[in-house]
Structure 1
Amino acid sequence: MTAAATIARILADPRFRDAVATMTREHDRTVADIVTLTEIPSPPFAEERRAAAYLEMLRAHGLEEVERDAIGNVMGRRRGSGNGRTVVVAAHLDTVFPAGTDVRVRREGTKLYAPGVGDDTRSLAVNLAFLRAMDAAGIRTRSDILFLGDVGRKDSATCAACGTSSSRAATATRSMPSSPWTARRWTASSPAASAASATASPSAAPAATASPPSAWSTRPMPWPAPC
């Protein structure tokens, strides 16, 4: 079966439609999770509080093997039917913004404004929404799915959207598990922009434009926001 045929088969499955309906119905809950996590400061090398909150969210949903490893990554396993590989779905817990940054969220219409709300806090919440939707629709997978909140993503980085720098080159010894979501990039029209605003539709990748401060659309979307 070709990839296109596989995708068409998934889209036609009633369980997929049920999952999408669940995500739409629980949209406000997902937005609330975004706000909750965003307002927990998580600068590089200081992700502990947000990690603890995310761990409790994974545990509350009933995932197996929910744990925080020695490095600080938080994870929980959704068991498949067996004999399949493990698929990692990841979003990073830390932000590029230094300790002391005001991370309170301001809402204007369908947008949330706060440092780090789109990079990558929104993806943490949307991955949880995926998990809830799959379970509500009774979707089972052959592979185990490991939901991961990883640390160290911003140990030594400059935010592409706003230009904020966080250099940890001298002490950045932690490694980040590879992630299909964090491999994709988007940038504002100007690297020096004070923040970024992004929206998306199912037919197009998010388009970024400069606007203060960091923002992300709260409209329902069927995938995690790219990093």
Structure 2
Amino acid sequence: MNEYEGKNVVITGGSSGFGLVTAQMLVDAGARVMITGRTPEALEAAQEQLGDAAVAVRGDVADLADLEALAERAEAEFGALDAVFVNAGITRFMPFEAMTEAVYDEVFATNVKGAYFTVQKLAPLLREGSAVVLTTSVANVKGIEAISAYAASKAAVRSMTRSLAAELMPRGVRVNAISPGPIDTGILAKVMPKETADEVVAQFRAGNPMGRVGDSREIAKAFAFLAFDATFTTGAELVVDGGVTQL
């Protein structure tokens, strides 16, 4: 089924996690996708997985020169864009008392500055009727230990979603956000020991009204809804969390 044939999409942070799963879903449905990431090995593996319908571009969203190069590459490859998934982000687990300026700046440079300027640099390529979808987090409304800087950065992205929706509305571009809850992306196993990661996932599962963690494809479907189907929705945040912030 080629539901998204003719659609051109850029996904930052698209070489792993639900960024890659979203890219795969779009490619399978006929879209052309450009993904970004910072790790050459992960990008190479993603490019091989996605095939010729995808273009992998190495870049750091915290670096404006890289974002300008991304916009130039997107224009050269696609000409115009139908959707942008502003998904690149980092999490740093560090208690408030131990937070350093360097870690704080790193989180905000990627999650806030990177998101803001990703939209700014790619906005000229967006067609009328296109969409921007940003990734926030349930952490922007819940007090969770050891991720205070991350939570604050995602709250900033939530505010940015509304402001950019107002700014881009005259051009016919919708701007919305996805707020993921606990999603099984495998990232925890990469940033902490396996036993600790398994324990955290078990806690997420036990504390969720649905009794499980989410699947990355559920985020991909939420992106597709906001990008292509929710044509009378802008400035909104779609929560995909199994009800953990609502019930």
TM-score by length of 1: 0.29
**Higher helix proportion:** 2
> Quick one: higher RCO (CA 8 Å, sep 6+), 1 or 2?
1
Query: Structure 2-normalised TM-score?
Result: 0.28
